[in-house]
A = this chain, B = another copy of it.
């Protein structure tokens, strides 16, 4: 790594202290004089027509200030994308999933608001429900939307090369059915907000990981110009996509209640509401067909994906796009066909989650590839090395890879004792069988979307040489604020303390798309770098004038400014800031910048082109101990060789890989919503099992250093790759321990025991 001062260093989180001490304020911590509480009445039916709503008893309850039903929103619908605008703030015609919001109450306190919701009388006509996406596609199945044929919410097709020809020319072709689970994003901070509508428009202090989406949704819902919408972001207790990347019934209701009452209005979802109603990762069925030559060379793949979309579209089209467009990485794949169907059901809504769209299909393809290698007698690592890509590489669907650490990552794993000695360690001790598995995966970095998706940044110099950095980028827990401050500090030659960052305020911080698609370090980072360089250029001109040298000869380092070719000419950054601020008319030094992807446009309809600015590569090894008597799996070790380009903050890269791997482990082994006719049976964190500290393996993260030309200082993403690589490596390890291939996630003890006993899976 070059001679950087803070870039590449293990800098502690700048928000660590306030989070540990409890000083950090989250949306639920906000309170204002006269504030009302909003509570939402939810449907007891998964599919029903709303015939009548009688709010009169609720309105009469002392302390109730206003009641809303779907009609109050005048038929307005929203969706995360233009093609997905089918969700009403409160259901106004039908309820399409159980616990969908149908009415809301604003009252003087939370208890009164809740009590009032119980007094609202809703007359429903129950409708037959449909809960299985494959059944939902059948003619004659109950329809979630009357006008939607076969309940297909969105379909997406890719066809590159000729898969039939490829299969014909293959030595081995396999077809398998895989299933991925019903899991939730799993943040610990529930959605909450305080909304205030006054003559300046709407101000909402809201738990949002991408504040500019609700900003647009609120403007559209209430027909307000964007400069009258102010989304202020408190600290965020986890996002991971889905709910916090979108708007909620509570957001719209709180705003409208504030307009009606003139008071600030607050809501905090309960954890039961979160688990019953909030956006989940789509559970998917993947019919995968793969062709291989005897030597392990992949010839082609055809995947048919059916995703459970639940009652509304939300971000679903993007999910389906990602299931396919990323399937041509990380292996050379000359022929690829993809047919993806997002299906409406009367389940809660399927949406984005960390590793968006890719965890499903990559799990299927990785496992299938291993199964075929096994059939052909090829080592699972060898088959990956054989097919793995190297940069520069262009996929058949024109995905451009300019840096790739896959092979180096796999080779790193190959040298590990955990891999080299795997056969020696193999075998059964008592009831415990040991296994090792690997995977090789890719994820996109700097997701590109339609619309106004750039990141802006502003850097302001105070007269004492300290700096305010304004960004619309969102740290929802991933540590991006620290990385962005590192970038500004590095460019200006300042220490971390000299750069102050504030939370997002859409009225004041520059526009930014938000925290999704692993875009913050890459794109907000690009903007931060540009804004800081703009400041540096302005200050360099002032220093150059003073020293009568060329501005290009001025350098910034260690809180000092100096002339490169005459280092005796030096002064503190503080002093230069003072000169700029005080000399002559007094300059107000403000730098600005915004991200520019620099790549070709991509074709959303064909699945062609770059959906990211760059791509990360993860090679993962997992070790498990399977208890053959109980079916219990203990994952004891993970080695994650992750190529995030150049790690700008290795401690953060390590933490993100660890977090993603543990989240992935939960989805591989434990996490699953139990559903009965659309009703979530385990809507609490006792019964919905996320991994806890004792479940966490020893995780070793190895940075595979590449230098990507598209990210600042060569950086790529580090937050999502390991959630893609974990499920196949763990399932491969379970196979190694048991000899059984599991194709359905999660791989629970029950499934393992049934398989070991050759009983049919339930």
Cα–Cα distance between A456 and B592 once the two chains are bound (Å): 14
Given contacts A452-B581, A502-B507, contact A198 B23 (CB under 8 A): yes
Cα–Cα distance between A584 and B33 once the two chains are bound (Å): 46
CB of A227 closer than 8 Å to a CB of B: yes
Q: Which residue of B lies closest to A472 (CB)?
A: B588
Cα–Cα distance between A598 and B584 once the two chains are bound (Å): 9
User: In the complex, are the beta carbons of A588 and B454 less than 8 A apart?
Assistant: yes
Instruction: Across the A-B interface, give the 10 residue pairs with the lowest CB-CB distance, nearest first.
Output: A456-B588, A588-B594, A226-B462, A452-B581, A227-B500, A227-B466, A585-B596, A225-B466, A454-B586, A508-B508
Q: Residues of B contacting A21 with CB < 8 Å?
A: 199
Cα–Cα distance between A248 and B712 once the two chains are bound (Å): 46
Cα–Cα distance between A532 and B23 once the two chains are bound (Å): 39
Choose among B450, B498, B511, B596 the residue that contacts A227 (Cβ–Cβ < 8 A): B498
User: In the complex, are the beta carbons of A460 and B595 less than 8 A apart?
Assistant: no
Cα–Cα distance between A571 and B371 once the two chains are bound (Å): 60
CB of A74 closer than 8 Å to a CB of B: no
Count of this chain's copies in the oligomeric assembly = 2
In the complex, 11 of the A-B residue pairs with CB atoms within 8 angstroms, ordered by the A residue number, are: A17-B199, A225-B464, A225-B498, A226-B462, A227-B499, A228-B500, A450-B582, A451-B586, A452-B463, A456-B590, A508-B509
Choose among B498, B500, B585 the residue that contacts A200 (Cβ–Cβ < 8 A): B500
User: In the complex, are the beta carbons of B225 and A462 less than 8 A apart?
Assistant: yes
CB of A31 closer than 8 Å to a CB of B: yes
Q: Residues of B contacting A466 with CB < 8 Å?
A: 225-228
Q: Residues of B contacting A201 with CB < 8 Å?
A: 500
User: In the complex, are the beta carbons of B31 and A227 less than 8 A apart?
Assistant: no
Q: Residues of B contacting A456 with CB < 8 Å?
A: 588, 590
Q: Residues of B contacting A219 with CB < 8 Å?
A: 464
Q: Chain A: interface secondary structure?
A: loop
Cα–Cα distance between A610 and B527 once the two chains are bound (Å): 41
A interface vs B, CB < 8 Å? 17-18, 21, 23, 31-33, 198-201, 219, 225-228, 450-456, 458, 460, 462-464, 466-468, 470, 497-500, 502, 505, 507-511, 527, 581-582, 584-588, 590, 592, 594-598
Candidate in A226, A463, A498 with the most chain B CB atoms within 10 angstroms = A226
Q: Residues of B contacting A17 with CB < 8 Å?
A: 199
Cα–Cα distance between A451 and B585 once the two chains are bound (Å): 9
User: In the complex, are the beta carbons of B458 and A18 less than 8 A apart?
Assistant: no
Cα–Cα distance between A624 and B491 once the two chains are bound (Å): 67
Choose among B198, B228, B585 the residue that contacts A597 (Cβ–Cβ < 8 A): B585
Q: Residues of B contacting A588 with CB < 8 Å?
A: 454-456, 510-511, 527, 592, 594
Cα–Cα distance between A598 and B585 once the two chains are bound (Å): 7
Candidate in A18, A468, A505 with the most chain B CB atoms within 10 angstroms = A468
User: In the complex, are the beta carbons of B597 and A18 less than 8 A apart?
Assistant: no
Cα–Cα distance between A622 and B238 once the two chains are bound (Å): 68
Choose among B463, B505, B590, B594 the residue that contacts A587 (Cβ–Cβ < 8 A): B594
User: In the complex, are the beta carbons of A582 and B451 less than 8 A apart?
Assistant: yes
Given contacts A452-B586, A582-B451, contact A226 B464 (CB under 8 A): yes
Q: Residues of B contacting A460 with CB < 8 Å?
A: 510-511
Q: Residues of B contacting A226 with CB < 8 Å?
A: 462-464, 466
CB distance from A25 to the nearest CB of B (A): 9
Q: Which residue of B lies closest to A460 (CB)?
A: B510
User: In the complex, are the beta carbons of B585 and A468 less than 8 A apart?
Assistant: no
Q: Which residue of B lies closest to A470 (CB)?
A: B508
Candidate in A201, A227, A590, A598 with the most chain B CB atoms within 10 angstroms = A227
CB distance from A298 to the nearest CB of B (A): 34
CB distance from A547 to the nearest CB of B (A): 22
Cα–Cα distance between A450 and B584 once the two chains are bound (Å): 10
User: In the complex, are the beta carbons of A502 and B511 less than 8 A apart?
Assistant: no
CB distance from A394 to the nearest CB of B (A): 21
Q: Residues of B contacting A508 with CB < 8 Å?
A: 468, 470, 502, 505, 508-509
Choose among B227, B500, B505, B585 the residue that contacts A462 (Cβ–Cβ < 8 A): B227
Cα–Cα distance between A509 and B588 once the two chains are bound (Å): 11
User: In the complex, are the beta carbons of A227 and B467 less than 8 A apart?
Assistant: yes
Q: Which residue of B lies closest to A457 (CB)?
A: B588
Q: Residues of B contacting A454 with CB < 8 Å?
A: 581, 585-588
